[in-house]
Chain A
């Protein structure tokens, strides 16, 4: 579904050249859930933006669904760390934003029904008319999730979407996301810096080294779904994989306190 070949990214900043990513080869299969993990500044957000077509790679090739990425695609959705809702739009109207931007009134009604379904799926029915500031952070991020699902994307790119939420909401959202992915069969690339989240959600965890971001290792997670943090099943496997990821991330490569460069 997603193919990255020899991809690298160099930023020309005031302080000179910064090599954010180098020599990334990655193949993400259809309906696969991949988490990208690494220290801050390892270029994981940049990698996500390359796939999204928000940023052209300095070198290397990115393809989605067999086509070279030249810009944002309608069948790829992007979810941000913050909810990024338009404050003057109601919940429903925020969810409908992608449809509105695609233009064309065909199927508007159908999308509206879908928006209601999605809001119900994440437990927000009854809140359609509310404005974003009337909702909690977790509810806002759920609206954001509905918005990224409205156009039935083939690929969902998620940039630390739950990192600003409290622990409990985060667990709930992780459960919901797994359920949604099993139901809707989408390919997901999910950036996180939480080992726990990476293991819980992923079919494969991609570990990046910091500065420049290179593939450190790809770890297969063979634990049956749905997985949940609350239960004790497969505790030993989870502990074993988490330990391994910890080791990979902790390995000394470059100074860890290097400035943030993932944008």
Chain B
């Protein structure tokens, strides 16, 4: 329900304009602090230094961004392919839920950074351990939100389908799964940012490419502007991926915003 109708809260332009204003204001503040307190570049570079550093090697940095993007998306994709079926099985069977759930919790509770070196030992220095790390970090919210969504079907709709003599399969596809989609999307939106974090953790543990590697390396040579440029690219990547999902949800589930 709309409570206010000023253009600032409703108009389409403002939906794009306001975030841009927020970003610009933050950058201005950052710059101001550096100028006011005369902060050294290797401690905190100015936005200009960061941009400058990016423009020195744009091709290289974009290529590293691509590497991280592929790892994140592969991990995210695998998390969907593995996580959603696990959630469906858990919802279907109380026995399996009791069997599997503590294990999932345990896996989720492990600080992922602790197993990153192990993944390198097992899988080498290629992209596979990074993909695995992205998968490990982001699949839990997908499982939880899918399971939650599958359990959220209103009783009256279940009763309706039963009164129509629907089969279990019909009940599943025509009702429960579709009804769970908005909640699945909520999980996906959490997971996509986590996938990016996961791939960076993986790159920290031992790699020769990716934005995580760039950040790790720049630390060794005190090249702070480079680290900031890489962090900036990571943020932009996360934002683009997140809003990509928001857009997809908007297109696929036009009913969801109105009914939730």
Contact = CB atoms under 8 A, between A and B. Distances in A.
Contacts of B160: 78, 80, 84
Contact of B178 (A76, A80, A88, A100): A88
B166 A101 contact: yes
Interface in A83-112: 84, 86-88, 97-98, 100-102
Given A74-B165, A86-B178, A133-B259, A80 B254 contact: no
Interface in B246-260: 253-256, 258-259
B161 interface: yes
A77 B159 CA distance: 12
Interface residues of A, number: 25
Nearest to B171: A101
A133 B164 contact: no
B156 interface: yes
Given A86-B175, A88-B178, A131 B255 contact: yes
A160 to B, nearest CB: 12
A82 interface: yes
A32 B130 CA distance: 70
Interface string B153-194: 010110111111110001000110010000000000000000
A257 to B, nearest CB: 24
B250 to A, nearest CB: 14
Interface residues of B, number: 21
Nearest to A78: B163
Majority secondary structure, B binding face:
helix
Contacts of A88: 178, 253, 255
A137 interface: no
A88 B255 CA distance: 6
B163 A52 contact: yes
A71 interface: yes
B255 A72 contact: no
Contacts of A87: 255-256, 258-259
B156 A80 contact: yes
Contacts of B154: 84
A97 B174 CA distance: 9
Contacts of B254: 131
B2 to A, nearest CB: 14
A81 B162 CA distance: 16
A72 B174 contact: no
Interface string B222-241: 00000000000000000000
A133 B256 CA distance: 10
B155 to A, nearest CB: 9
Contacts of B163: 52, 54, 72, 76-78
A97 B160 CA distance: 10
Given A133-B258, A133-B259, A82 B156 contact: yes
Contact of B159 (A54, A74, A97, A132): A54
28 contacts: A52-B163, A54-B159, A71-B165, A72-B162, A72-B163, A72-B164, A72-B165, A73-B165, A78-B159, A78-B163, A80-B160, A86-B157, A86-B174, A86-B178, A87-B258, A97-B164, A100-B174, A101-B164, A101-B165, A101-B166, A101-B170, A101-B174, A102-B165, A131-B254, A132-B255, A132-B259, A133-B255, A133-B258
**3 nearest A-B residue pairs (beta carbon):** A133-B258, A78-B163, A87-B259
